[in-house]
Structure 1
Amino acid sequence: MNQNKLFRLTRVRLALYYAIVMGLILSLCAFSFYQAVFHAHVVALDSEIESVAGTLHDSIELKLQEPGRLEPFASKLFPNIDNCGSQSVNCTQQQSNSQRHILGITTKNSYYIRFFDTSGRLIANAGSYPDGLPEIFNQKTWQFLKDAKGKDYHQITLSLHTHDNQDWGYMQVGRSLEEFNHYLDSVKVILVLGLLVAMAMIAGASWWLSGLAMQPIYQSYRQIQQFTADAAHELRTPLAATGATVESALLMPEIDLQETRDILQTIQRQNQRLTALVGDLLMLARLDRQSQKLQWEICCLNDIVDDLVEEFEAMAIAAGIKLKSSIQLNEPVNIVGNSDQLYRLVANLIVNAIQYTPSGGITVFLERSEHYAVIKVQDTGIGISKHELTRIFDRFYRVSSDRSRQTGGSGLGLAIVQAITQAHHGIIDVQSELGKGSTFTIQLPFHIHTLNGVRSNYLLKMFSHPTHK
């Protein structure tokens, strides 16, 4: 398949389209996953900051006396507080004391606290206060900030009131996002690397799947090529014979009546061969397209088998073999089908058996099961090898080309048998052994689902009486 330029390019395009589509789908899934992780961690981070800020807010607010004045208890509550412009304490960094009551959250490296008065002036800060953080007060509840080093912080702003419900100022509790960003960066790296590995696997899988998907198409293409070559070869033989006959006649200076008759008979034989071949090809084409509207009717298989055995008995005797039928049924076997095609089906099987049976005999069996009428054509011929059993229904295929050409076969007989069987929703099976003969078994269902309307009811009523012919 890869040696054919058309199929190779088609396979490349198909694999590329598949890889692109799968890549887009995976990229969208990866982006959605990242957004879900980001949102989940932002929600968890907000909840954590809000919990810490709420605890500090409740611990401080009840002890505030004057607006804008940070009470001395703050130095005990926040041992590392830095008072800037406070009325009671200079802007000095207080050292932590292990004996003082502290809120452990302020000793962590990721949190800081800022206090502003009602005018927005920074009063004090505590915790791990970063350098270069903007000191301009912003009353927004949630904010994302950057320090002088470009590190990200997330903070919440809460209003504070004195014990007599006067506005005291504001408290901001913030948290470093360094750990959060490191986690997100790790997720990004994992997703990108995973996407690259997945794309490499998808590229290989898409190439394999495209080849697998195109295999039946390529097989059909090869069959069409082979069919075209075989059809051209079969048509060329009678055409060449006819052309040679006409050419030789034209080279004769004089042609008497007997020679003319011989020439015309030769042309007629080749014309009949061409007509039969074209007719077979046309029938196969119509059956393939299912464009041929079959005339469904009640068909008595007993009559068809008896008539064909009687018809081909002389042909079998001429070939030196015995042809007989075996119908051990008390009642006729009637099915709904097309009598002309069923006649052609059984006839092709008998002719095929005669052509490939040099000695011995042929028996045509007619049986019935619960749901099927069964026709068997058993011969004692040359048999078919196992590797050829899968190909005998191919068009123009011959088990023995020399023998079939001597008997005038075109290699379409069994292909027509298979097509007619499929048109009647039947099943065909072959059992064969080299040197011992072959058995072709056709199972035709009693119920055909393509019937409808009044005609269907009429036929089914007729079919309910097995003695009707």
Structure 2
Amino acid sequence: MNERTLFRQTRWRLASWYAGVMGIILTLSGFGVYEAIDHAHRTAADRELQAIAGRLHDNIEPMLIQPGKLPTSTQRFLPDSCVTSEPCITSASSADHSPGEMFQGSYYIRLLDTSQNLIALAGLRPKGLPSSSSMTAWQYIQDEDNIRYRQITIPVQNPDAPLWGYLQVGSSLKHSDQYLSSVRLVLFAGLPLALFFIGVAGWWLAGRAMQPIRQSYQQIQQFTADAAHELRTPIAAAQAIVESVLDMPQLSAAEARETLQTLDRQHQRLSQLIQDLLLLTRLDRQKQLKQNDSCCLQDLVSDMAEELAALALNKKIQLQTDVQMDQPLWVSGDEAQLYRLVFNLVINAIQYTPEAGKVTLALSQQDQQAVIQVRDTGVGIAPEYQSKIFDRFYRVDCDGLRPAFGHRNRQTGGSGLGLAIAWAIAQKHQGRITVQSQPSKGSLFTIHLPILPT
């Protein structure tokens, strides 16, 4: 499976999981919202219905003494009442309690005797509504038009008389059901649309989230390929030397010594490469530096100039130091690592500076930072490569104008890890490295490190 297919499948999986989880959350949230709305409507309707039924019960109960008989005085509390044993009448408008004031809304009122026979009906007259029902206090019933009603049943009994019957008050749920139906339609229709947008957003977010992972994967692949090449080269060279020697019928002492010297150079090259790789691994795994470690940069610059003076003289290069302060400048960090940081930059400048050139190692202070500058008059680096020279195994050819992956320059040597190690050490010490360079005019590497308080 190639890299493109692998990351596309992983991206699809992430987007699918994201859309699935969000779909479940939205579905549960939709059910919760719907139940909350339904509960609020039911609670409000029940409270209003209970209040109306209670008020009506309190008004007519004292008048109901003889079971099954409905006094005429109760009709003023019943809007448009209709007694089953008499013709339907209309309540007088001069009644003390106007029915219109008491029953604002879609309500019906039924009075039943103890045998659950209908005695009187007032208010709404739903078609096909059961004339009697169970004596359950709260009930949902339905007429022939499939309109639901919420009904409350209250016993009617005068304290001075036996049980008269039952009062039933019901309200139409037509508008409430229509509203809830609209809510269900919005939720069910909106869920697929929301899932579509979530899927698109998940695909985009998965791509953004996997971008640094893909870059890291590509860097690891490149690093592995370059490391394998660098390790294979000295091993292949040593193997070729050994095979050529074995094919010789006889070997003189001088030839044997030359062979061993060649093998020793390849061994040193291989050992240095392994040490550099191990150092980079330690820097990557090292979480933080010891707080009590410190380094005096004046001593570091002085030791550096003394150690590399012979190499610069051998290459006919002038190595200068420029320390612009008298007081010791201390920074927090590992002295050996900081020495390696500056050493890699200076040795790199010497290697890429032709004869009669000059390399300057300067030390100064800007605000609360120590500034170490390594300036050379070498071949320089083309602008398009300056942002990549700190990548591992990235090398620029000796003319500074093109990258040189996969081969070593006989004069400069190196495996492309020196600047990567310097960058890693600077980052580990909360510092940074900048570069300014022009082809054929030299380069300027600047290290910024935070200094310790005086």
Shared fold by TM > 0.5? yes
Match of 1:219 among 210, 215, 219: 215
The CA distance in 2 between the partners of 1:295 and 1:246, in whole Å, is 50
Aligned mate of 2:172, from 170, 176, 198:
176
Q: Do structure 1's residue 40 and structure 2's residue 40 form an aligned pair? A: yes
How many angstroms does 1:33 deviate by? 0.9
Which residue number in structure 2 is paired with residue 122 of structure 1? Answer: 118
422, 445, 448: which one pairs with 2:450? 445
1:250 equivalent among 226, 229, 246: 246
Relative to 1, partners in 2 of residues 1:157 and 1:294: Cα closer, same or farther, differing over 3 Å? closer
Question: Where does residue 424 of structure 1 map in the other structure?
Answer: 429
Distance 2:36 2:295 in 1: 69
Instruction: State the partner residue of 1:310.
Output: 306
1:192 paired with 2:196, answer: no
Using the TM superposition, give the Cα deviation of residue 410 of structure 1 relative to its aligned residue in structure 2, in angstroms: 0.7
- The answer (yes or no) to whether the contact 2:76–2:92 under 8 Å persists in 1 is no
SS at match of 1:397: coil
Q: Structure 2: state its 5+ residue gaps.
A: 398-402
> Does the Cα contact within 8 Å between 1:357 and 1:379 map onto a contact in 2?
yes
Does the C-alpha gap of structure 1 residues 336 and 137 become closer, same or farther in structure 2, counting only changes over 3 Å? closer
CA change 1:225–1:437 in 2 (3 A) is same
Equivalent position of 1:412 in the other structure? 417
Could you list the per-position Cα deviations for residues 183-230 of structure 1 after superposition, in whole angstroms to 9, with x for gaps in the alignment?
Answer: 101001111122222111111111111121111111111111101110
Alpha-carbon offset, residue 325 of structure 1: 0.8
C-alpha displacement at 1:145, in angstroms?
1.5
Tell me: CA distance 1:289–1:435, structure 2 relative to 1, closer, same or farther (3 Å): same
Equivalent residues of 2:108, 2:171 under 8 A apart = yes
| Structure 1: runs of 5+ lacking an equivalent | 448-462, 465-469
| Residue 37 (structure 1) shift | 0.7
Moved more, 189-198 or 133-142: 133-142
Distance 1:2 1:59, change over 3 A: farther
Contact kept, 8 Å, 1:323 with 1:362, in 2: the verdict is yes
- Give the TM-score normalised by structure 2: 0.87
Distance 1:370 1:107 in 2: 84
Q: Note if contact 2:289-2:334 (Cα within 8 Å) is conserved in structure 1.
A: no
What is the Cα deviation at residue 63 of structure 1? 4.4
Q: State the partner residue of 1:455.
A: none
From the superposition, tell whether residues 296 and 251 of structure 1 become closer, same or farther in structure 2 (CA, over 3 Å).
farther
Alignment check: 8 A CA contact 2:65 2:161 kept = no
Task: Name the counterpart of 1:22.
Answer: 22
C-alpha change, 1:99 and 1:341, in structure 2 (3 Å) is closer
The residue aligned with 2:49 is 49
Q: CA deviation at 1:246?
A: 1.8
Give the match's secondary structure for 1:197: helix
Partner of 2:150: 154
- Choose from 184, 200, 203 the match for 1:204: 200
Q: TM-score when scaled to structure 1? A: 0.85
Per mean C-alpha deviation after superposition, the further-off stretch among 16-25 and 54-63 is 54-63
Report if aligned partners of 2:329, 2:451 keep a CA contact under 8 Å in 1: no
Q: Assess if the C-alpha contact under 8 Å between 2:110 and 2:122 holds in 1.
A: yes
Say whether the 8 Å CA contact 2:109–2:170 is kept in structure 1: yes
In structure 1, the partner of 2:385 is: 388
- Distance, in Å, in 2 between the alignment partners of 1:264 and 1:291 is 42
* Aligned residues of 1:418 and 1:428 also touching (Cα < 8 A): yes
Larger mean CA deviation between 376-385 and 256-265 belongs to 376-385
Give the whole-Å Cα distance in 2 for the aligned partners of 1:231 and 1:224: 10
- Deviation, 1:420, is 1.8
**Residue by residue, what CA displacement relative to the aligned partner does 1:253-300 show, whole Å, maximum 9, x if unpaired?**
222222222222111111111111111111111111128987964432
Distance 1:295 1:122 in 2: 93
Match of 1:265 in 2: 261
The aligned residue for residue 360 of structure 2 is 363
Matched, 1:349 2:354: no
Q: Residue type matched to 1:44 in 2?
A: A
Residues 53/296 of structure 1: CA separation in 2 closer, same or farther (3 Å cut): closer
Show the counterpart of 1:10. 10
> Which residue in the other structure is 2:400 paired with?
none
- Segment of structure 1 superposing worse, 293-302 or 235-244: 293-302
Cα distance in 1 for partners of 2:447, 2:194 equals 51
Cα separation, 1, equivalents of 2:227 and 2:235 = 12
Decide which moves more: 325-334 or 47-56.
47-56
| Counterpart residue number, 1:287 | 283
Q: CA 1:43–1:262 in structure 2 vs 1: closer, same or farther (change >3 Å)?
A: same
Q: Is the 8 A contact 2:114 2:165 kept in 1?
A: yes
* Whole-Å separation in 1 of the counterparts to 2:72 and 2:287: 100
Q: Aligned partners of 1:386, 1:44: CA distance in 2, in Å?
A: 74
Q: Distance in 1 between matches of 2:426 and 2:198?
A: 43
Cα distance between partner residues in 2 of 1:411 and 1:343: 19
The percentage of aligned residue pairs carrying the same residue is 49
Q: Is the 8 A contact 1:63 1:163 kept in 2?
A: no
Give me the whole-angstrom Cα distance separating, in 2, the residues matched to 1:144 and 1:386. Answer: 82
Q: Which amino acid in 1 is paired with 2:214?
A: Y
Q: 1:2 to 1:276 in 2, by over 3 A?
A: closer
Letter in 2 for 1:395: R
Identify the residue that residue 83 of structure 1 maps to in structure 2.
83
Which segment drifts farther, 330-339 or 32-41? 330-339
Whether contact under 8 Å (2:79, 2:99) holds in the other structure is no
* Structure 2 letter corresponding to 1:228: T
> What is the CA–CA distance in structure 1 between the aligned matches of 2:114 and 2:28, rounded to whole Å?
47
Q: Deviations over 1:429-452 (max 9, x none)?
A: 3333444433222223345xxxxx
In 2, Cα distance between the equivalents of 1:295 and 1:178? 76
**2-structure distance, mates of 1:187, 1:245:** 84
> 2:78 touches 2:91 (CA, 8 Å); kept in 1?
no
2-side partners of 1:211 and 1:2: how far apart?
Answer: 17
The CA deviation string for residues 324-376 of structure 1, in whole angstroms up to 9 with x for no partner, is 11002112223343222222111100011122333642211112345333211
- Give the 3 Å change call, closer, same or farther, for CA 195–295 of structure 1 in structure 2: closer
Letter in 2 for 1:195: L
Which is worse superposed, 301-310 or 411-420?
301-310
Q: Are 1:60 and 2:56 matched, yes or no?
A: no
